[in-house]
Amino acid sequence: MKRITVKDLAKHLLLSTSTVSRALLNDKNIHWETKKKVLAAAKELGYKRNSAAASLKYGQSKNIGFVVPEMVTPFSSKVLRGVQEVLYPLGYRVIVTVCDEDPQRERENLLLLEEFNVDGIIINLCDESKNHDIYQQLIDQGIPLVFFDRTPNESLNVSKVLIDNFFYASDMMEHLVDQGRKKIVHIMGPPSLRNSQDRAKGYEEVMDKHGIYDPALIIEVEGLGFEDGKKAIKTLMDQKIDFDGIFAFTDTLAIGAMNYLLENGVKIPNEVSMGSFSGTELATMVYPQLSSVEPPLEQMGEEAARLILEKIKNSDIDCRDIFLKAELKIRSSSSL
């Protein structure tokens, strides 16, 4: 039951701990035969490296924090997968925290991770304006941050991995216009997110370009839940505002909206064409399937992980932004 240590191995093999350690770490200053012997004994006796001791020695915890706003959508877990793909083989542990779109909770999570002595944090923020001080504090403490998807403004010197929201929003909008839609509603995300603003800008520009822009068609939403999407469309319909298309900030909002329409017998896409941003299975799990802009989420995680490793290895390295290409997936919610 007692754990086998390097010392135990050394005693068993009549070698020094140094030599045993060398064998275990694949050091070159060791005879290949003794290395083989050590490895054999390690296996036989069931030696397991004590990572706490190693961490202490190396001065690194080998823990990386992963901070996300929600996990009801597979969005974060797809990114997480990418992150783990890169970090797990290197012996890094990933610690996940979820804040439910609550900045206060995000704050607590970050503090918790600090307590956990993480070597770095990969984060998708939930409110651009709220936790700036903590971000800065962590950076000052030497804990590198890498943001993905929802990123903070430029005043923070961090690396980011993201997509061009303006560009892809325009792309989706052009598609909806192509479908002959003129009264396209925008369910806009909270203005506290850069992404909301960028996507809204894409919406506006395309509407404007085609001379069909109408501010009454933009409805701003407080939360990002399913219910918020529902409520948004209910509000519009209660106001008897007429529309033939919807471009929603996220898939959750879109699906909420979609359900409200279906409940009220509105045909999709015949009467209303819908498009959104997603990147997850969610878009294909609803009926009709949701057209959406799909960022390469797993890759996003991988890139974020690589950036954080870069920063851990060398803290003076320059921060950089990685822009990823997304895909416009046209499904039955927008075209017959």
Partner DNA sequence: AAATATTATGGGAACGCTCCCAATTTTATG
Partner DNA sequence: CATAAAATTGGGAGCGTTCCCATAATATTT
Which residues are near a copy of itself by CB under 8 A? 1, 46, 48-53, 55-56, 61, 63, 71-74, 77, 80-81, 84, 88, 91, 93-98, 112, 114-117, 141-142, 226, 255, 258-259, 262-263, 280-282, 284-287
Smallest distance, DNA to C-beta of residue 84, A: 22
Q: Name the residue nearer to DNA (CB basis): 34 or 136.
A: 34
Closest CB to DNA among residues 91, 191: 91
Q: Which does residue 77 bind out of a copy of itself, DNA, none, counting CB within 5 to 8 angstroms by kind? A: a copy of itself
Q: Please, what is the minimum distance in Å from the beta carbon of residue 1 to DNA? A: 12
The only residue of 1, 12, 21, 71 in contact with DNA, by rule CB under 7 A: 21
Which is nearer to DNA, 58 or 88 (by Cβ)? 58
Report d(CA 163, CA 150) in Å as an integer.
Answer: 10
What's the rounded Cα separation, in Å, for the pair 334 and 336? 7
Q: Is 25 an interacting residue with respect to DNA (CB under 7 A)?
A: yes
Q: How far is the CB of 158 from DNA (least distance, A)?
A: 26
Q: How far is the CB of 195 from DNA (least distance, A)?
A: 39
Integer Cα distance of 160 and 68 in angstroms: 15
The yes or no reply on residue 54 touching DNA (CB under 7 A) is yes
Amino acid at 325: K
Helix axes 75-87, 297-313, angle to 10 degrees: 40
Q: Using DSSP, state whether 91 is helix, strand or coil.
A: coil
- The mark string for 291-310 relative to DNA (x by CB under 7 A, - otherwise) is --------------------
Chosen from a copy of itself, DNA, none, partner binding at 88 (C-beta under 5 to 8 Å by type):
a copy of itself
Report how far apart, in Å, the C-alpha atoms of 165 and of each of 170, 227, 272 are: 8, 24, 23
Helix and strand tally (H, E) in the chain? 13, 12
DSSP SS3 for 205: helix
Residue 179 Cβ, how far from a copy of itself at the closest point, in Å? Answer: 20
Closest CA to 190 of 233, 216, 228: 228
Task: Give the side-chain half-sphere CA count within 13 A for 78.
Answer: 18
Interaction partner, residue 19 (a copy of itself, DNA, none; CB < 5-8 Å by kind): DNA
* Residue 148 DSSP class: E
Task: State the amino acid at position 138 in one-letter form.
Answer: L
Based on the shown chain and the rule CB under 7 A, indicate whether residue 314 belongs to the binding site for DNA: no
Amino acid in the structure at residue 85: E
Residue linked to tokens 């093999």: 13
Binding site for DNA (CB under 7 A): 3, 5-7, 14-19, 21-22, 24-25, 28-34, 47-50, 53-54, 56-59
